[in-house]
Amino acid sequence: MERESNSSDKERVIQVGHRIEVLNERGFVRFIGSLETCETSALWVGIEWDNPTRGKHDGTYNGKKYFHCIRNKGSFIKLEQLEKIPRRSFVEALMDKYCFDNLEQISHASNKFFGNKEAQFVGFDKAADQFKRLSSLKHIALPNYCIYQAGNDLGTKSDALASVEVLDLSSNLFSEFSEILTIINFAPSLRELILSNNRFERIETTCTATNNQIHLLVMNDCFYDFESLLNSLVYFPNVEELHLSHNYCNYDFFRLSHICPYLKTVVLDTCGIESWEQLSPLGTLPLLKKLSLAGNNLSDIHLKTEDDSKNDTRAFEHLEYINLSGNKLKGLTVINELAKLPSLKSLRIDDLSMNSDEIVPRFQFIGRLGQLLYLNGSLITENERRDAELAYIKFICDQTKSGSVEFSENVFPRLEALKNHYADYFSEQWAEWKSRLPTKQVVITLSSEMNKDESEGWTRKLPCSIPVRKLKQIAAKQFKLKQVDQLALYFHRKSSEEDSTIKFYLEDESCPLSYYGIESGTTIFVGERTAI
């Protein structure tokens, strides 16, 4: 579009692809030109709004398509109206906030008179002196300044960025990423860059890569597609903390982790992530310590252990903090999976429920996650940990006394450690339960794997209350076996998979047969403990 304008106006010319703001609503310019059948000869701007309910159409006027967008996201506004709405370059915004040319005039205007006495603005000279020394600024914050470009005169003002370590350009009107690269090229000391709520569509992969030392990069709600996001990250090879919340993209975390190998913190809140498998490449990042996934659509978690991994490295081995609030996770198996994280110290998951929709009590987390120090932002004290572990032990006993739940580390993480640490309490729980047991007998068959001469087995009716230790002694005597302590007893139990069984070992010698759910007709096999 050709227009006559002075050099200052040329910087402000609205172009297709630019971002604009009208009455606090923002959008992209998709068309500039005349509208056929329109009564006026004015130039019109076609806008695709960010707000899906702000517009009136899909880019069509009187049956003709001028640009493409989703229904009710499009509008036409006269160009002359948009040109009255101020937009700024980075240089203009910087000078407006941090530099004054008329300091003396402002100083006198700020003073007040009470009678014949002048009350001076205290501290103005100190503030003015600070603004004069732009080159000493370490933190520049310019959010919501309607900035859309770097500015042609940035080179003459580059001293202002010489010492800057933190730069906040969030909620502006940038659309071309090359403008951001131009700005940070003049900031050699920059360590933190905040770009949230700008919308980038043009990521120039041909731009010269910046040799920056930016370690923290915040780009929440900036991208519509993953390729643009990935192309932007190429320019930040040293980034350690990355915030990408509210970017709804089809993520490829394998490629992302390859481009950003030094990540220590990753924030992916409300990104529409549905599968833990999709996130698994992040588990290979050797330095990753913090991961936030709040507000996504995760319905389960599966963490690889050293046994699952082909390269003998545990997934998310150094992860210390994870936020899983606001997902679709349910059940205690979620906590069991988190127990596979060897370095986990802090967890946020304030809405985890059981399958019955009852909120999972706090003791379940503390009891199953022994290394946890903080839960939902609250410090776990020594007293709370002890009470929670005892409550967890009671839960284990209540669940397994019926024999319907496997008494193992897979179902109850930290089982063996807690049994050893709270041996007396465990004994009390079983003693109390035994005292309430009714007298009952079951018919079982003992079958020896060690003495082939006794292939037919030994069948007897025994009381349910007989402990495993006593049953071992009976087996040793019947099959003429020595070293009772080296014997292992097991039976076959139906697994969750159809038509399959698993070996279920009677590991706790102090527990009675009824504890393991032994019923009449069960065959118990006798083998060597070393063969387990």
pLDDT the model gives residue 8: 38
Query: What DSSP designation does 284 have?
Result: G
**pLDDT for 406 beyond 80:** no
Task: Report, as an integer, the average pLDDT of 195-214.
Answer: 80
**Separation CA 373–CA 382 (nearest Å):** 10
Q: CA neighbours within 13 Å on the CB side: how many for 517?
A: 15
**pLDDT for 403 beyond 70:** no
**Separation CA 225–CA 143 (nearest Å):** 24
Strands (E) located in 24-85: 25-33, 44-49, 60-61, 64-65, 74-78
Q: What is the percent of the chain where pLDDT is above 70?
A: 83
Q: Which residues pair with 77 in a beta bridge?
A: 45
Is residue 138 classed as helix, strand or coil in its secondary structure?
coil
Residue spans of alpha helices (H) in 352-444:
362-368, 382-400, 415-421, 423-435
Is residue 23 classed as helix, strand or coil in its secondary structure?
coil
Closest alpha carbon to 79 in 108, 45, 105? 45
| Pair of tokens at residue 54 | 């702000």
Q: What angle, 0 to 180 degrees and rounded to 10, lies between the N-to-C axes of helices 423-435 and 382-400?
A: 40
Cβ(69)–Cβ(55) below 8 Å: yes
Residue spans of alpha helices (H) in 73-151:
79-82, 90-98, 103-110, 124-132
pLDDT the model gives residue 500: 72
Residue 130 binned pLDDT confidence (cut-offs 50, 70, 90):
low
| Range from 365-374, 381-390, 420-429, 496-505 carrying the lowest mean pLDDT | 496-505
Backbone φ and ψ of 91, nearest 5°: -60, -45
pLDDT digits (tens, 9 = 90+) for 322-355: 999 999 999 999 999 999 999 999 999 988 998 8
**Separation CA 273–CA 283 (nearest Å):** 16
pLDDT digits (tens, 9 = 90+) for 432-462: 766 665 557 889 999 988 766 656 788 999 8
Q: Is 198 left (phi over 0), alpha (psi -120 to 50) or beta?
A: beta
**Whose structure tokens read 């070393």?**
530
**pLDDT for 383 beyond 90:** yes
**Separation CA 488–CA 337 (nearest Å):** 29
Amino acid at 11: E
**pLDDT for 103 beyond 50:** no
Cβ(211)–Cβ(184) below 8 Å: no
**Separation CA 57–CA 84 (nearest Å):** 24
pTM assigned to the model = 0.75
Task: Report, as an integer, the average pLDDT of 171-195.
Answer: 94
pLDDT the model gives residue 114: 53
